[in-house]
Amino acid sequence: MKKLIYLKYGELTLKGKNRVNFIDCLYRNTIKALSQYNLNIVKHFDCMTIYEINDKNIESIVTILKRIPGIFKIIIAYEINNNNLSNVGNFVVDLIKEKNFNSFKVETKRHDKSYPINSMDFSKQIGGIILKNIENKQVKMNNFDLLITIEIKEKSAICYFESINGFGGFPVGISGKTLVLISGGIDSPVAASLLMKKGMHIDFLTFITPPHTSDKALEKVKLLTKKITLNCLLDQSKLFVCNITHIQNELAHMKDSSYQITLMRRYFFRIAEYLMNKYKYDAIATGESLGQVASQTIQSMQTIESVLKPGTIVLRPLLSYDKLEIIKLSKEIDTYEISIQPYSDCCSLFVPKQPTTKPTIGKALELEKDLELVNDLYQRTLKKYIKIID
């Protein structure tokens, strides 16, 4: 008998001819994420198994596994080397005789279709062995206390009693590269995590405006990126930090202050597109949620995004989420408490008292034209005011 962690792939099983590539990617990611432990990780076509586990590490290993995109179910299980029915039955009896239960159900999954006993009959006979060896127990098909699941493999059987939900989705790195605009708020970290769930490698871009924004605001963003990537165990992500103080100071002289956040975000997108082209990203991503704030109306998104060249993709994974849904997700990925720390980013600091909710491209271009220095400051920012933190 071997104790193991048994991992189910879930959505990867739909990938047909590309399935092997997805499994290989998930296998590499899992080895990297668990590199601090001395484990034997084995990949199979339909699952992954982890052996040589120290019991004292199981909880921390499972915590990491729950965050790895591509894993659907995490199961603490026992592998029986001989799948003979009586051998399996006696083993199950030994496993459960100290458990506190009155009723049970046995559920068998026969992966080896050549096995001489079908799944239903195997479950019935295992149930009979349990009833014979443990007194005062009963079988129930519904509302049972204990579910005993047995999976019959070619030369072995795996037994377990419960499963833990994994993160699901696809392994990180299988779907391309995205540059995520991240602030210190609640939304953008959640957006980044959802993109990882769909297999995207992510790097981050944040904007600072010292002395208006503090060093603590930047440290907050760094903490968020580490939390999202589990200190780069899930993804070896970079953080681009762009100082736009000079641009922001020029935008403060606008004739129509209601457009200030619109023009600021237009420069965010210009800078993001510059980095996207330089470092070969497939897309830009934001934490925008439709209608949540003034800069996230359809008209605002259209006006802000119009600075990008045709064909540039902007991903907005939170577009249809409401705030409560986003908060729930932020708590699940453990970024919420960091996000609500009271250190303001440049987006929240420079929001005008009455921001426009229906900006037009024509008006934005007109206002930018009046700001004579802003384009020179933009070019200077690209050359001098972007640094990379690995």
Binding-site residues for ATP:
181-182, 206-207, 265, 287, 296
Written as six digits, the tokens of 157 are 């059987």
Spatial distance between the Cα atoms of 34 and 221, rounded to a whole number of angstroms: 25
Beta strands 239-243; 201-208: pairing state: parallel
- Find, among 283, 288, 305, the residue nearest to 364 by Cα: 305
Q: What are phi and psi of 103, to 5 degrees?
A: -125, 155
Question: Before 189, cis peptide (omega within 30)?
Answer: no
Task: Render 237-269 in DSSP notation, one character per residue.
Answer: --EEEEE-HHHHHHHTT-S-GGGHHHHHHHHHH
Written as six digits, the tokens of 375 are 């384009």
Spatial distance between the Cα atoms of 337 and 335, rounded to a whole number of angstroms: 6
Binding residues, as ranges, are 181-182, 206-207, 265, 287, 296
For the chain, the helix, strand and coil percentages under 3-state DSSP, each to the nearest 5: 45, 20, 40
Other beta carbons within 10 angstroms of residue 31's beta carbon come to: 12
Spatial distance between the Cα atoms of 193 and 182, rounded to a whole number of angstroms: 11
| CB within 8 Å of 290: residues ≥ 6 apart | 296, 297, 298, 319, 320
Helix-helix angle 187-197:215-229, to 10 degrees: 20
| CB within 8 Å of 155: residues ≥ 6 apart | 81, 82, 83
Q: Quick check: 378 and 270 in contact, CB under 8 A?
A: yes
Q: Quick check: 327 and 336 in contact, CB under 8 A?
A: yes
The amino acid that residue 283 corresponds to is A
